[in-house]
Structure 1
Protein backbone atom coordinates (compact mmCIF):
# COMPACT_ATOMS: atom_id res chain seq x y z
CA UNK A 1 0.00 0.00 0.00
CA UNK A 2 2.77 2.45 0.94
CA UNK A 3 4.65 1.67 -2.27
CA UNK A 4 1.50 2.28 -4.33
CA UNK A 5 0.99 5.66 -2.63
CA UNK A 6 4.61 6.64 -3.26
CA UNK A 7 4.26 5.59 -6.92
CA UNK A 8 1.15 7.71 -7.35
CA UNK A 9 2.79 10.74 -5.72
CA UNK A 10 5.91 10.46 -7.91
CA UNK A 11 3.70 10.16 -11.01
CA UNK A 12 1.66 13.23 -10.04
CA UNK A 13 4.80 15.31 -9.35
CA UNK A 14 6.38 14.23 -12.64
CA UNK A 15 3.18 15.02 -14.55
CA UNK A 16 2.85 18.44 -12.88
CA UNK A 17 6.43 19.38 -13.79
CA UNK A 18 5.93 18.30 -17.39
CA UNK A 19 2.64 20.19 -17.53
CA UNK A 20 4.34 23.61 -17.22
CA UNK A 21 6.71 22.84 -20.09
CA UNK A 22 3.73 22.00 -22.29
CA UNK A 23 1.93 25.30 -21.67
CA UNK A 24 1.28 27.57 -24.66
CA UNK A 25 3.53 30.07 -22.85
CA UNK A 26 6.26 27.80 -21.44
CA UNK A 27 8.50 28.78 -18.53
CA UNK A 28 11.80 30.43 -19.43
CA UNK A 29 14.73 31.94 -17.59
CA UNK A 30 17.41 34.53 -18.33
CA UNK A 31 20.46 34.94 -16.13
CA UNK A 32 23.77 36.73 -16.12
CA UNK A 33 26.00 39.17 -14.28
CA UNK A 34 25.71 42.94 -14.25
CA UNK A 35 28.62 44.71 -12.54
CA UNK A 36 29.23 41.68 -10.27
CA UNK A 37 25.58 41.11 -9.34
CA UNK A 38 23.95 37.83 -10.43
CA UNK A 39 20.57 38.50 -12.03
CA UNK A 40 17.93 35.81 -12.68
CA UNK A 41 14.63 36.50 -14.45
CA UNK A 42 12.00 33.73 -14.52
CA UNK A 43 8.94 34.18 -16.72
CA UNK A 44 6.30 32.59 -18.89
CA UNK A 45 7.18 33.17 -22.56
CA UNK A 46 4.08 33.96 -24.64
CA UNK A 47 4.00 34.13 -28.45
CA UNK A 48 2.53 36.91 -30.56
CA UNK A 49 0.55 34.49 -32.79
CA UNK A 50 -0.61 37.38 -35.00
CA UNK A 51 -2.30 39.19 -32.11
CA UNK A 52 -1.94 42.90 -31.29
CA UNK A 53 0.45 43.22 -28.35
CA UNK A 54 1.13 46.90 -27.60
CA UNK A 55 -1.93 49.11 -27.71
CA UNK A 56 -4.83 50.21 -25.58
CA UNK A 57 -7.10 47.50 -27.02
CA UNK A 58 -4.63 44.63 -26.57
CA UNK A 59 -5.54 41.77 -24.27
CA UNK A 60 -1.85 40.79 -24.00
CA UNK A 61 -0.07 43.92 -22.74
CA UNK A 62 -2.36 46.95 -23.01
CA UNK A 63 -0.99 50.46 -22.63
CA UNK A 64 -1.60 52.04 -19.24
CA UNK A 65 -2.29 48.81 -17.32
CA UNK A 66 -0.11 46.77 -14.99
CA UNK A 67 1.25 43.76 -16.89
CA UNK A 68 2.94 40.69 -15.38
CA UNK A 69 5.64 41.11 -18.06
CA UNK A 70 5.21 37.53 -19.20
CA UNK A 71 2.51 34.88 -18.94
CA UNK A 72 1.05 32.66 -16.23
CA UNK A 73 2.75 33.37 -12.87
CA UNK A 74 4.17 36.86 -12.38
CA UNK A 75 7.65 37.31 -13.81
CA UNK A 76 10.30 37.28 -11.07
CA UNK A 77 13.53 39.23 -10.88
CA UNK A 78 16.24 38.17 -8.45
CA UNK A 79 19.55 39.83 -7.58
CA UNK A 80 22.15 38.61 -5.09
CA UNK A 81 23.55 42.13 -4.50
CA UNK A 82 22.18 45.61 -3.99
CA UNK A 83 21.94 47.32 -7.39
CA UNK A 84 20.99 50.62 -8.98
CA UNK A 85 18.14 50.37 -11.50
CA UNK A 86 17.80 53.41 -13.75
CA UNK A 87 19.71 55.33 -11.06
CA UNK A 88 17.58 54.19 -8.09
CA UNK A 89 18.55 51.71 -5.35
CA UNK A 90 17.08 48.19 -5.25
CA UNK A 91 18.20 45.91 -2.38
CA UNK A 92 19.29 42.34 -3.04
CA UNK A 93 16.30 39.99 -3.12
CA UNK A 94 13.59 38.37 -5.21
CA UNK A 95 10.78 40.49 -6.63
CA UNK A 96 7.76 40.21 -8.88
CA UNK A 97 8.59 42.15 -12.03
CA UNK A 98 5.73 44.16 -13.53
CA UNK A 99 5.55 46.86 -16.16
CA UNK A 100 3.02 49.41 -17.28
CA UNK A 101 3.58 49.71 -21.04
CA UNK A 102 3.18 53.06 -22.73
CA UNK A 103 3.74 54.31 -26.23
CA UNK A 104 6.86 56.35 -25.40
CA UNK A 105 7.64 55.41 -21.77
CA UNK A 106 7.09 52.41 -19.52
CA UNK A 107 6.89 52.12 -15.76
CA UNK A 108 9.06 49.26 -14.47
CA UNK A 109 7.97 47.82 -11.12
CA UNK A 110 9.79 45.61 -8.60
CA UNK A 111 7.17 44.31 -6.16
CA UNK A 112 7.99 42.66 -2.81
CA UNK A 113 5.43 39.85 -3.33
CA UNK A 114 7.51 37.66 -5.65
CA UNK A 115 5.24 34.63 -5.87
CA UNK A 116 1.84 35.57 -7.27
CA UNK A 117 -0.30 34.55 -10.21
CA UNK A 118 -0.27 37.18 -12.94
CA UNK A 119 -1.07 40.71 -11.83
CA UNK A 120 -4.53 39.91 -10.49
CA UNK A 121 -3.65 40.64 -6.85
CA UNK A 122 -0.97 43.23 -7.58
CA UNK A 123 -0.74 45.71 -4.71
CA UNK A 124 1.11 48.97 -5.39
CA UNK A 125 1.71 49.38 -1.63
CA UNK A 126 4.08 46.38 -1.89
CA UNK A 127 6.30 48.01 -4.52
CA UNK A 128 9.99 48.08 -3.58
CA UNK A 129 10.88 50.29 -6.55
CA UNK A 130 9.33 51.99 -9.58
CA UNK A 131 11.41 53.45 -12.40
CA UNK A 132 10.75 54.52 -15.98
CA UNK A 133 12.38 53.24 -19.16
CA UNK A 134 11.96 54.06 -22.83
CA UNK A 135 11.01 51.34 -25.33
CA UNK A 136 12.75 51.21 -28.69
CA UNK A 137 11.70 49.69 -32.01
CA UNK A 138 13.45 46.38 -32.50
CA UNK A 139 15.40 45.68 -35.67
CA UNK A 140 13.74 42.28 -35.94
CA UNK A 141 10.50 40.62 -34.92
CA UNK A 142 10.57 38.51 -31.74
CA UNK A 143 7.64 36.06 -31.92
CA UNK A 144 8.23 34.83 -28.37
CA UNK A 145 8.84 37.07 -25.34
CA UNK A 146 12.51 36.95 -24.35
CA UNK A 147 14.59 38.60 -21.64
CA UNK A 148 18.35 39.18 -21.94
CA UNK A 149 20.73 40.02 -19.12
CA UNK A 150 23.53 42.14 -20.56
CA UNK A 151 26.53 43.93 -19.09
CA UNK A 152 24.43 47.12 -18.96
CA UNK A 153 21.22 45.69 -17.47
CA UNK A 154 18.23 43.76 -18.77
CA UNK A 155 16.27 43.90 -22.00
CA UNK A 156 12.70 42.73 -22.56
CA UNK A 157 12.12 41.81 -26.24
CA UNK A 158 8.75 41.00 -27.75
CA UNK A 159 7.12 41.65 -31.09
CA UNK A 160 8.86 44.78 -32.49
CA UNK A 161 9.68 46.31 -29.08
CA UNK A 162 12.77 46.21 -26.87
CA UNK A 163 12.76 47.69 -23.39
CA UNK A 164 16.27 48.21 -22.04
CA UNK A 165 16.50 48.75 -18.26
CA UNK A 166 19.86 50.07 -17.03
CA UNK A 167 21.44 48.39 -14.00
CA UNK A 168 24.64 49.34 -12.18
Structure 2
Protein backbone atom coordinates (compact mmCIF):
# COMPACT_ATOMS: atom_id res chain seq x y z
CA UNK A 1 0.00 0.00 0.00
CA UNK A 2 2.85 2.40 0.89
CA UNK A 3 4.50 1.61 -2.40
CA UNK A 4 1.32 2.50 -4.28
CA UNK A 5 1.00 5.80 -2.38
CA UNK A 6 4.62 6.68 -3.28
CA UNK A 7 3.99 5.94 -6.97
CA UNK A 8 0.84 8.03 -6.93
CA UNK A 9 2.65 10.89 -5.15
CA UNK A 10 5.49 10.75 -7.69
CA UNK A 11 3.00 10.76 -10.57
CA UNK A 12 1.11 13.71 -9.08
CA UNK A 13 4.36 15.66 -8.54
CA UNK A 14 5.39 15.00 -12.15
CA UNK A 15 2.05 16.29 -13.45
CA UNK A 16 2.25 19.43 -11.28
CA UNK A 17 5.83 20.23 -12.34
CA UNK A 18 5.09 19.58 -16.03
CA UNK A 19 2.03 21.84 -15.89
CA UNK A 20 4.01 24.62 -14.21
CA UNK A 21 6.80 24.39 -16.80
CA UNK A 22 4.36 24.42 -19.72
CA UNK A 23 2.61 27.50 -18.29
CA UNK A 24 5.90 29.40 -18.62
CA UNK A 25 5.85 29.23 -22.43
CA UNK A 26 6.21 32.90 -23.42
CA UNK A 27 5.81 32.61 -27.19
CA UNK A 28 4.16 35.73 -28.58
CA UNK A 29 0.69 35.32 -30.07
CA UNK A 30 0.86 35.46 -33.88
CA UNK A 31 -2.26 37.63 -34.25
CA UNK A 32 -3.15 39.06 -30.84
CA UNK A 33 -6.72 40.10 -30.09
CA UNK A 34 -7.14 43.87 -29.97
CA UNK A 35 -9.93 46.28 -29.08
CA UNK A 36 -10.26 49.92 -30.07
CA UNK A 37 -12.95 52.24 -28.69
CA UNK A 38 -13.92 55.73 -29.72
CA UNK A 39 -16.71 58.10 -30.63
CA UNK A 40 -18.01 59.02 -34.08
CA UNK A 41 -20.88 61.50 -34.46
CA UNK A 42 -21.86 60.99 -30.81
CA UNK A 43 -21.98 57.19 -31.10
CA UNK A 44 -19.75 54.99 -28.94
CA UNK A 45 -17.90 52.56 -31.20
CA UNK A 46 -16.06 49.36 -30.25
CA UNK A 47 -14.07 47.30 -32.75
CA UNK A 48 -12.66 43.88 -31.76
CA UNK A 49 -10.20 42.25 -34.14
CA UNK A 50 -7.20 39.97 -34.49
CA UNK A 51 -4.03 41.88 -35.44
CA UNK A 52 -1.85 39.91 -37.88
CA UNK A 53 1.59 41.08 -39.01
CA UNK A 54 2.94 41.48 -42.54
CA UNK A 55 6.14 39.49 -41.77
CA UNK A 56 7.54 40.06 -45.27
CA UNK A 57 4.50 38.53 -46.98
CA UNK A 58 2.51 39.87 -49.92
CA UNK A 59 -0.77 40.87 -48.27
CA UNK A 60 -3.16 42.24 -50.90
CA UNK A 61 -3.67 39.75 -53.70
CA UNK A 62 -1.52 37.23 -51.81
CA UNK A 63 -2.37 36.33 -48.22
CA UNK A 64 -5.70 38.17 -48.66
CA UNK A 65 -6.99 37.41 -52.17
CA UNK A 66 -8.85 39.98 -54.23
CA UNK A 67 -12.61 39.66 -54.77
CA UNK A 68 -13.22 37.34 -51.79
CA UNK A 69 -14.94 38.11 -48.49
CA UNK A 70 -12.28 38.63 -45.81
CA UNK A 71 -12.73 38.74 -42.01
CA UNK A 72 -10.91 42.12 -41.89
CA UNK A 73 -8.46 40.83 -39.28
CA UNK A 74 -7.30 37.43 -38.05
CA UNK A 75 -8.84 34.49 -36.16
CA UNK A 76 -12.42 35.39 -35.16
CA UNK A 77 -14.06 37.75 -37.62
CA UNK A 78 -13.83 41.43 -36.71
CA UNK A 79 -16.78 42.89 -34.79
CA UNK A 80 -18.11 46.45 -34.96
CA UNK A 81 -20.45 47.74 -32.27
CA UNK A 82 -22.32 51.05 -32.09
CA UNK A 83 -24.74 52.30 -29.45
CA UNK A 84 -26.51 54.66 -31.90
CA UNK A 85 -27.79 54.43 -35.45
CA UNK A 86 -25.16 55.57 -37.96
CA UNK A 87 -25.33 56.78 -41.54
CA UNK A 88 -22.51 54.98 -43.30
CA UNK A 89 -22.01 55.88 -46.93
CA UNK A 90 -25.53 56.10 -48.32
CA UNK A 91 -27.06 53.55 -45.93
CA UNK A 92 -28.21 53.42 -42.32
CA UNK A 93 -26.68 51.06 -39.79
CA UNK A 94 -28.96 50.53 -36.76
CA UNK A 95 -27.38 50.49 -33.30
CA UNK A 96 -26.06 47.03 -32.51
CA UNK A 97 -23.17 44.61 -32.90
CA UNK A 98 -22.10 43.37 -36.31
CA UNK A 99 -19.43 41.24 -37.88
CA UNK A 100 -17.33 43.42 -40.18
CA UNK A 101 -15.96 42.07 -43.46
CA UNK A 102 -14.18 43.56 -46.45
CA UNK A 103 -13.93 42.46 -50.06
CA UNK A 104 -10.57 43.73 -51.35
CA UNK A 105 -10.32 44.67 -55.02
CA UNK A 106 -7.20 44.79 -57.14
CA UNK A 107 -8.13 48.30 -58.28
CA UNK A 108 -10.89 50.75 -57.50
CA UNK A 109 -13.32 50.46 -54.64
CA UNK A 110 -13.56 47.75 -52.01
CA UNK A 111 -16.77 46.57 -50.34
CA UNK A 112 -17.28 47.03 -46.59
CA UNK A 113 -19.87 44.68 -45.08
CA UNK A 114 -21.74 44.82 -41.77
CA UNK A 115 -23.20 41.35 -41.21
CA UNK A 116 -25.85 40.47 -38.60
CA UNK A 117 -24.36 37.08 -37.64
CA UNK A 118 -21.89 37.32 -34.76
CA UNK A 119 -19.21 34.93 -33.49
CA UNK A 120 -17.93 33.85 -36.89
CA UNK A 121 -14.51 32.27 -37.34
CA UNK A 122 -13.02 33.88 -40.40
CA UNK A 123 -15.46 34.20 -43.28
CA UNK A 124 -16.12 30.48 -43.68
CA UNK A 125 -19.79 30.63 -42.64
CA UNK A 126 -20.48 34.10 -44.06
CA UNK A 127 -23.81 34.49 -45.88
CA UNK A 128 -24.60 37.57 -47.96
CA UNK A 129 -28.30 37.16 -47.07
CA UNK A 130 -27.38 38.10 -43.46
CA UNK A 131 -25.83 41.46 -44.42
CA UNK A 132 -27.25 44.51 -42.70
CA UNK A 133 -25.33 46.99 -44.87
CA UNK A 134 -22.80 47.07 -47.69
CA UNK A 135 -20.92 50.20 -48.72
CA UNK A 136 -18.18 50.97 -51.23
CA UNK A 137 -14.90 52.31 -49.81
CA UNK A 138 -11.71 53.47 -51.48
CA UNK A 139 -8.34 52.34 -50.12
CA UNK A 140 -5.58 54.94 -49.85
CA UNK A 141 -1.81 54.40 -49.77
CA UNK A 142 -0.01 54.82 -46.44
CA UNK A 143 3.20 56.86 -46.25
CA UNK A 144 4.95 54.03 -44.39
CA UNK A 145 4.30 50.30 -44.08
CA UNK A 146 2.02 49.38 -41.16
CA UNK A 147 3.47 46.05 -39.94
CA UNK A 148 0.53 45.08 -37.69
CA UNK A 149 -3.08 45.48 -38.73
CA UNK A 150 -4.72 48.25 -36.69
CA UNK A 151 -8.09 49.97 -36.61
CA UNK A 152 -8.35 53.68 -35.90
CA UNK A 153 -11.50 55.54 -34.95
CA UNK A 154 -11.50 59.11 -36.22
CA UNK A 155 -13.91 62.05 -36.17
CA UNK A 156 -15.75 61.09 -39.39
CA UNK A 157 -14.73 57.48 -40.05
CA UNK A 158 -13.02 54.38 -38.84
CA UNK A 159 -10.11 52.92 -40.75
CA UNK A 160 -8.23 49.67 -41.12
CA UNK A 161 -4.51 50.23 -41.70
CA UNK A 162 -2.23 47.38 -42.74
CA UNK A 163 0.74 46.87 -45.00
CA UNK A 164 0.71 49.80 -47.42
CA UNK A 165 -3.02 50.64 -47.36
CA UNK A 166 -5.59 52.49 -45.28
CA UNK A 167 -9.25 51.61 -45.81
CA UNK A 168 -11.51 54.24 -44.25
CA UNK A 169 -15.25 53.71 -43.82
CA UNK A 170 -16.98 57.13 -43.78
CA UNK A 171 -19.63 57.90 -41.18
CA UNK A 172 -21.87 60.83 -42.23
TM-score in same-fold range (> 0.5) = yes
Structure-2 residue corresponding to 1:92: 95
**Mapped pair 1:40 → 2:43:** no
Residue 153 of structure 1: CA displacement? 1.1
Q: Distance in 2 between matches of 1:159 and 1:104?
A: 18
Alignment coverage as a number of residue pairs: 148
Q: Distance in 1 between matches of 2:28 and 2:108?
A: 35
Structure-2 residue corresponding to 1:66: 69
Q: 1:27 aligns with which of 33, 39, 43?
A: 33
Q: Distance in 1 between matches of 2:60 and 2:163?
A: 9
Q: 2:129 aligns with which of 107, 110, 125?
A: 125
Structure-2 residue corresponding to 1:50: 56
Unaligned runs of 5+ in 2: 1-18
Q: Distance in 2 between matches of 1:48 and 1:86?
A: 29
Q: Distance in 1 between matches of 2:71 and 2:168?
A: 17
**Mapped pair 1:76 → 2:82:** no
Structure-2 residue corresponding to 1:101: 104
Q: Distance in 2 between matches of 1:122 and 1:35?
A: 29
- Structure 2 residue matching 1:130: 3-state secondary structure: strand
Tell me the TM-score normalized by structure 2.
0.82
**Consecutive aligned runs of 4 or more in structure 1 exceeding 4 Å deviation:** none
Q: Distance in 2 between matches of 1:104 and 1:22?
A: 36
Q: What's the RMSD between the two structures over aligned residues?
A: 1.7
Residue 31 of structure 1: CA displacement? 1.1
Q: Distance in 1 between matches of 2:89 and 2:147?
A: 27
Q: Distance in 1 between matches of 2:78 and 2:46?
A: 10
